[in-house]
């Protein structure tokens, strides 16, 4: 399909355990440190759950 670059821009502090787990599952370790993932329905679903914490760009 394609690749997307996911960058966390807001902290996960004071977020639910589920949202923190989603950030970890996406492989994001630090703020402003981009991660490149292949576009799949599972990845897009995870991104949708934490859309308020991340920026998504096509690459």
- 16 in a domain, yes or no? yes
> How far is residue 59's CA from residue 49's CA, in Å, rounded to a whole number?
21
Q: 29-33: long-range contacts at Cβ-Cβ below 8 A with a sequence spacing of 24 or more? A: 32/7, 32/8, 33/7, 33/8
- 14 in a domain, yes or no? yes
Q: How many CA atoms lie within 13 A of 21 on its CB side?
A: 3
pTM of the model: 0.92
Q: Are 5 and 35 in contact (CB under 8 A)?
A: yes
- Residue 10 domain boundaries: 1-38
Show pLDDT as tens, one digit a residue, over the chain (59 residues): 799 999 999 999 999 999 999 999 999 999 999 999 999 999 999 999 999 999 999 99
- 47 in a domain, yes or no? no
Structural domain tally of the chain?
Answer: 1
Q: Are 39 and 4 in contact (CB under 8 A)?
A: yes
* pLDDT given at position 1: 76
- 50 in a domain, yes or no? no
* pLDDT given at position 28: 97
- 59 in a domain, yes or no? no
């Amino acid at each position: 399909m394609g690749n997307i670059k996911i960058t966390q821009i807001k902290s996960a502090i004071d977020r639910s355990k589920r949202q923190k787990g989603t950030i970890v599952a996406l492989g994001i370790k630090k703020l402003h440190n981009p991660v490149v993932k292949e576009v799949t329905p599972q990845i897009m679903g995870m991104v949708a759950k934490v859309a308020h914490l991340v920026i998504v760009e096509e690459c």
